[in-house]
């Protein structure tokens, strides 16, 4: 197990180095100039050159990269070229918003998805399955932003159950914070819930046909006990894989959702940074997302071995 | 003890008819049978005969839209039941009643130990579930009972092993776990559905012996479902023969084996590959051509001091010797069988010969050349001359290919002929394996198991090979089909001058088809000789044990 973990960490490090290179070069290939963005259209060439020197943009690209990596390793992400605020501060205020939103959406998606999937299997060919399937179809085919706009229109304006926008930090007021995040989380989680529902349903249908399910029933166990202890647990192995693969979509979905609900999150920070060619912010944001992906994938792989005893400890047998 | 309940049947099935879908033809046609208290009854039949459907009907667990469309399944009154002496009709009982009966009054030992245990639950928890389902309460009580049951079922170190998962158990041990589950609530009737057909012959005997001891000690009635007439004869008081959803014959083992009445039973008895009953039709000596030239008399396959080691993952330096200094040879136009149980290394030997695996040391020479050591044109040529036929005709044929495409694939790979000539070659090959040419455009899932295995043989013959490696080529087939395929292989051998290396765990099949036999155990050869010598005068203890474990020997004529 330790050896497995070490291998995985080593692979992660390589992924990170590659990602930092791609980001670093990629950002500099974007059309536009941060100096121009900072100084404004009317700035004199001398002023632009001055700003470039100040930002270190006149150095060779290799030197810039080395400086960048060195600073990163010291935890220094630099300052926003637009506002001069340290990037770490920007991240510290925006990242929690997105993490709460994504986490909340994930929980909603897992609960709703698995529940509907189980219901669809249990009531095959009857109306609950059709309802669940209909939900999945809508969740997958209707785009996020459209659902968000509809939700604001009907659930915040026509019938004011939820606030239309705004954010209250969870740390300050947990109840109000969660309340403000509920609608965005539901909207963000919908497509993931639909994917989980379909996967759970398909996987449950297969599992419930297996011999060990019949044997469990022949022991005299009731249907629901068999459904959960024998059916669902083995179906979850597939579901966990899908969730792991889809988590990336949750982060990109968060960018859009934050925009609709005017949440001051990571997504908004990313968009603003890209529009103003704010190199330090873009680099930091992309690296943090990459680290997030790596951590999530590692977690999913470790979760596997918890759910599926056959691959525990390097896969004996 | 002579109450009414003792003389009445425990299970009485009357005119049972089961259909899948409302308008479909019934798969069981008015089947009636009795199992008396303490009696052991076997149902024998090939796949599709409806024997497994009977089990589904008894348990109320028919798959899909299967349902009982006529008839009754009466489970005799249980004097101990709180409801008093009332018969239960399982054909009409609701889910709640059935839950009280399943496991408690009727236990099931299912067929395949590899697929009947929940892979993500410890075996202890799965046995505990069977107890908890019928009201046994208390963690400690259940845990103690689980260990007792496992010990009774013959699982050593039950306390420790109850916390393990199914994949940590061997096939035989898993089957013991399933027996422990079936007997957990001491049911009056135990239904065993082909309980050992997935196991090696010596393990099969141990498990059946053990099951019999447990059943006898408890006075449990046994309904034993099997395709193996030998096993049925050894283990039960009465045999019911089924064909296409109907009962065709009922009798004691002696009656069924010695005086079969029905045409189908007669064929079944004749095909049953029980060792001594098989009349030897083959010459022990290899059949040679008249001229007996040098190239013809040299063996087609020579294995010398073959060793294959695998390093065990996760344990540095520890090595598993799967094949340990194996030597033997196969003469031209003869059949050599490798016999052994799972883990004996017989399949690894086959893979090395086919060039799918490299030997650690030693050589496997086909016509004097090693496939793995050869390169270029010679390797190409050797591969053509050695062709495999695998065990599972369901898994070894790509379901998306047409039969024609499957058979001519080797021709395409080796760029033999053009489209027209390949097509006519496929026709010839289908003729050779006695399949109608019209099936060329069909897909594997439209064919039966026997037909698929014929397709696999046709595919193997496409390149005019000299040596066929048949790895358990008939093990997955019903006994009558198995017999037909063995006939086909023998016929092809005499017509085409083929040599066979026949890998099997079934000694009866060896007796039927082979000239020479190599007995393997744990990677080594324990015995090697002609079939007559090995069967009539085995020198190793292990071979004697294998021979003794063959079911049905007692009834051989």
The bridge status of strand B28-36 relative to strand B66-75 is unpaired
- CB distance from B58 to chain A under 8 Å? no
> How does pLDDT run across B490-501, given as a tens digit for each residue?
999 998 999 999
Residue B52 φ then ψ, to 5°: -75, -30
- CB distance from B59 to chain A under 8 Å? yes
Residue B91 and residue B68 in contact, taking contact as beta carbons nearer than 8 Å: yes
Predicted complex: ipTM over 0.90: no
Hey, are the CB atoms on A317 and B110 less than 8 Å from each other? no
Q: What is the pLDDT of residue B378?
A: 84
| A72 and A176 part of one domain | no
Q: What is the pLDDT of residue A36?
A: 74
| A64 and A116 part of one domain | no
| A246 and A116 part of one domain | yes
Using an 8 Å CB-CB cutoff, list chain B residues near A316: 313-314
- CA B443 → CA B186, B303, B391, B425, B435, distances in Å? 47, 38, 19, 18, 14
**Average pLDDT along chain B:** 84
Last residue of a domain, one of A76, A106, A140: A76
Last residue of a domain, one of A17, A52, A76: A76
Could you tell me if residue A304 is inside a domain?
yes
How far apart (Å, rounded) are the C-alpha atoms in residues A224 and B40?
A: 34
- CB distance from A210 to chain B under 8 Å? yes
- CB distance from B165 to chain A under 8 Å? yes
Q: Which of A215, A230, A317 sits opposite B108 (nearest CB)?
A: A215
Hey, are the CB atoms on A233 and B117 less than 8 Å from each other? no
Whether residue B271 is predicted with pLDDT greater than 80 in this model: the reply is no
Could you tell me if residue A8 is inside a domain?
no
Comparing C-alpha atoms, which of B392, B550, B396 is closest to residue B475?
B392
DSSP H helical ranges for chain A: 2-29, 34-39, 45-55, 61-73, 87-122, 127-141, 144-151, 174-208, 211-218, 223-225, 233-260, 266-275, 279-307
- CB distance from A141 to chain B under 8 Å? no
| A184 and A51 part of one domain | no
Using an 8 Å CB-CB cutoff, list chain B residues near A221: 99, 103, 129-130, 133
> How does pLDDT run across A18-74, given as a tens digit for each residue?
888 888 888 787 777 777 777 777 778 888 888 878 777 778 888 888 888 888 888
pTM (predicted TM-score)? 0.75
Range(s) of the domain holding residue A45: 32-76
Interface test with A, best of B56, B107, B112, B129 (most A CBs within 10 A): B129
- CB distance from A2 to chain B under 8 Å? no
Using an 8 Å CB-CB cutoff, list chain B residues near A307: 120
Residues in chain B: 557
> How does pLDDT run across A132-142, given as a tens digit for each residue?
999 999 988 98
- CB distance from B146 to chain A under 8 Å? no
Could you tell me if residue A26 is inside a domain?
no
- Tell me B437's DSSP state: G
Last residue of a domain, one of A19, A42, A76: A76
Q: Mean pLDDT throughout B448-458? A: 88
Q: What is the CATH number of the domain that holds A165?
A: 1.10.3720.10
| A242 and A273 part of one domain | yes
Q: Give contacts of A 19-48 with B, CB under 8 A.
A: none
> How does pLDDT run across B462-473, given as a tens digit for each residue?
988 999 999 888
Could you tell me if residue A237 is inside a domain?
yes
The nearest CA of chain A is from the CA of B154 a distance in Å of 20
| A36 and A163 part of one domain | no
| Centroid of chain to Cα B352 | 25
| A71 and A94 part of one domain | no
pLDDT (tens place) for every residue of chain A, 317 residues total: 677 778 878 888 888 888 888 888 887 877 777 777 777 777 788 888 888 787 777 788 888 888 888 888 887 888 887 788 888 888 888 888 888 898 999 999 999 999 999 999 888 888 999 999 999 999 889 888 888 888 888 888 888 888 877 788 887 888 888 888 899 999 999 989 999 999 999 999 989 888 899 999 999 898 888 998 888 888 888 888 788 778 777 877 888 888 888 888 888 888 888 888 888 888 888 888 888 888 887 887 777 777 777 665 443 33
Could you tell me if residue A12 is inside a domain?
no
Could you tell me if residue A121 is inside a domain?
yes
Hey, are the CB atoms on A218 and B100 less than 8 Å from each other? no
Using an 8 Å CB-CB cutoff, list chain A residues near B100: 220
| A53 and A180 part of one domain | no
DSSP H helical ranges for B195-238: 201-218, 229-235
Interface test with B, best of A220, A231, A312 (most B CBs within 10 A): A220
| A230 and A150 part of one domain | yes
Q: Which of A220, A307, A310 sits opposite B167 (nearest CB)?
A: A310
Could you tell me if residue A107 is inside a domain?
yes
User: Which structure tokens are listed for A90?
Assistant: 């920007």
Whether residue B356 is predicted with pLDDT greater than 80 in this model: the reply is yes
| A55 and A142 part of one domain | no
- CB distance from B134 to chain A under 8 Å? yes
User: Could you give the number of structural domains in chain A?
Assistant: 2
| A246 and A269 part of one domain | yes
Using an 8 Å CB-CB cutoff, list chain B residues near A308: 119-120
Q: What is the pLDDT of residue B277?
A: 40
Closest residue in chain B to residue A211, using alpha carbons only: B116
Could you tell me if residue A228 is inside a domain?
yes
Q: Which of A223, A309, A315 sits opposite B120 (nearest CB)?
A: A309
- CB distance from B310 to chain A under 8 Å? no
| A145 and A281 part of one domain | yes
Q: Mean pLDDT throughout B2-25? A: 77
């Amino acid at each position: 197990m330790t050896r497995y973990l070490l291998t995985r960490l080593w692979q992660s490090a390589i992924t990170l180095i590659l990602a930092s290179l791609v980001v670093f070069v990629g950002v500099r290939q974007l059309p536009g100039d941060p100096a121009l963005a900072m100084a404004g259209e009317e700035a004199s060439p001398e002023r632009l050159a001055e700003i470039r020197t100040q930002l270190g943009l006149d150095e060779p690209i290799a030197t810039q990269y080395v400086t960048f990596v060195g600073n990163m390793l010291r935890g220094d992400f630099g300052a926003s070229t637009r506002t001069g605020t340290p990037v770490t501060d920007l991240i510290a205020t925006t990242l929690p918003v997105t993490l709460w939103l994504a986490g909340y959406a994930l929980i909603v998606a897992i609960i709703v998805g698995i529940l509907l999937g189980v219901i669809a299997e249990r009531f095959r060919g009857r109306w609950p399955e059709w309802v669940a399937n209909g939900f999945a179809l809508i969740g997958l085919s209707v785009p996020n932003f459209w659902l968000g706009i509809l939700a604001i229109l009907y659930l915040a304006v026509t019938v004011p159950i939820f606030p239309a926008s705004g954010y209250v930090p969870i740390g300050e007021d947990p109840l109000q914070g969660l309340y403000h995040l509920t609608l965005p989380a539901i909207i963000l989680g919908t497509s993931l819930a639909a994917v989980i529902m379909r996967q759970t349903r398909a996987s449950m249908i297969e599992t419930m046909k297996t011999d060990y399910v019949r044997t469990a029933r022949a022991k005299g166990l009731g249907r629901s006990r068999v459904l959960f202890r024998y059916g669902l647990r083995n179906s979850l192995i597939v579901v966990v894989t899908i969730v792991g693969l889809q988590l990336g979509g949750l982060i990109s979905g968060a960018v859009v959702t934050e925009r609709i609900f005017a949440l001051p999150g990571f997504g908004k920070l990313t968009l603003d940074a890209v529009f103003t060619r704010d190199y330090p912010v873009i680099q930091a944001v992309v690296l943090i997302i990459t680290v997030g992906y790596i951590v999530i994938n590692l977690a999913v792989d470790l979760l596997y071995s918890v759910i599926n005893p056959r691959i525990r400890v390097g896969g004996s047998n | 003890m002579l109450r009414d309940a003792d003389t009445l049947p425990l299970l009485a099935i009357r005119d049972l008819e089961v259909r899948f879908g409302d308008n479909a033809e019934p798969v069981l046609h008015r089947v009636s049978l009795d199992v008396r208290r303490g009696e052991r009854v076997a149902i024998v039949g090939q796949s599709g005969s409806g024997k497994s459907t009977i089990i589904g009907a008894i348990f109320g667990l028919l798959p899909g839209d299967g349902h009982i469309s006529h008839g009754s399944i009466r489970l005799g009154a249980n004097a101990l039941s709180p409801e008093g002496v009332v018969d239960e009709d399982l054909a009409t009982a609701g889910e709640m009643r059935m839950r009280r009966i399943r496991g408690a009054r009727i236990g099931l030992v299912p067929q395949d130990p590899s697929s009947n245990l929940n892979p993500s639950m410890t075996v202890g928890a799965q046995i505990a579930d069977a107890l908890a389902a019928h009201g046994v309460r208390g963690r400690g009580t259940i845990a103690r009972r689980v260990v007792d049951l496992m010990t009774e079922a013959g699982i050593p170190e039950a306390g420790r092993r109850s916390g393990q998962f199914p994949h940590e158990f061997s096939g035989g041990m898993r089957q013991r776990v399933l027996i422990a589950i079936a007997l957990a609530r001491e049911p009056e009737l135990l239904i065993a559905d082909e309980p050992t057909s997935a196991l090696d012959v010596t393990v099969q005997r141990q498990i059946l012996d053990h099951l019999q001891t447990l059943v006898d000690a408890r006075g449990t009635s046994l309904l034993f479902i099997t395709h193996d007439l030998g096993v049925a004869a050894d283990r039960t008081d009465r045999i019911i023969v089924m064909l296409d959803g109907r009962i065709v014959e009922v009798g004691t083992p002696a009656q069924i084996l010695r005086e079969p009445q029905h045409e189908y039973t007669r064929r079944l008895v004749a095909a049953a590959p029980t060792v001594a009953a098989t009349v030897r039709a083959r010459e022990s000596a290899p059949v040679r051509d008249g001229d007996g030239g040098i190239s013809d008399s040299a063996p087609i396959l020579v294995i010398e001091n073959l060793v294959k080691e695998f390093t065990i993952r996760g344990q540095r330096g520890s090595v598993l010797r799967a094949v340990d200094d194996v030597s033997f040879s196969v003469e031209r136009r003869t059949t050599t069988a490798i016999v052994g149980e799972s883990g004996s290394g017989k399949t690894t030997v086959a893979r090395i010969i086919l060039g799918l695996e490299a030997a650690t040391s030693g050589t496997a020479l086909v016509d004097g050349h090693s496939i793995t050591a050869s390169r270029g044109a010679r390797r190409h040529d050797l591969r053509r001359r050695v062709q495999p036929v695998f065990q599972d005709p369901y898994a070894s044929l790509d379901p998306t290919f047409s039969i024609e495409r499957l058979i001519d694939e080797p021709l395409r790979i080796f760029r033999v002929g053009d489209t027209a000539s390949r097509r006519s070659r496929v026709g010839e090959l289908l003729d050779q394996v006695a399949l109608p040419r019209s099936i060329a455009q069909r897909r594997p899932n439209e064919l039966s198991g026997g037909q698929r295995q014929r397709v696999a043989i046709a595919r193997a013959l496409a390149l005019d090979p000299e040596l066929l490696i048949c790895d358990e080529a008939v093990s997955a087939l019903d006994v009558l089909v198995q017999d037909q395929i063995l006939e086909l292989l023998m016929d092809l051998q005499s017509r085409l001058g083929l040599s066979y290396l026949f890998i099997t765990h079934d000694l009866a099949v060896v007796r039927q088809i082979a000239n020479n036999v190599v007995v393997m155990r744990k990677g080594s050869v324990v015995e090697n000789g002609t079939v007559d010598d090995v069967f009539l005068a085995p020198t190793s203890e292990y071979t004697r044990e294998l021979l003794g474990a063959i079911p049905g020997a007692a009834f051989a004529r």
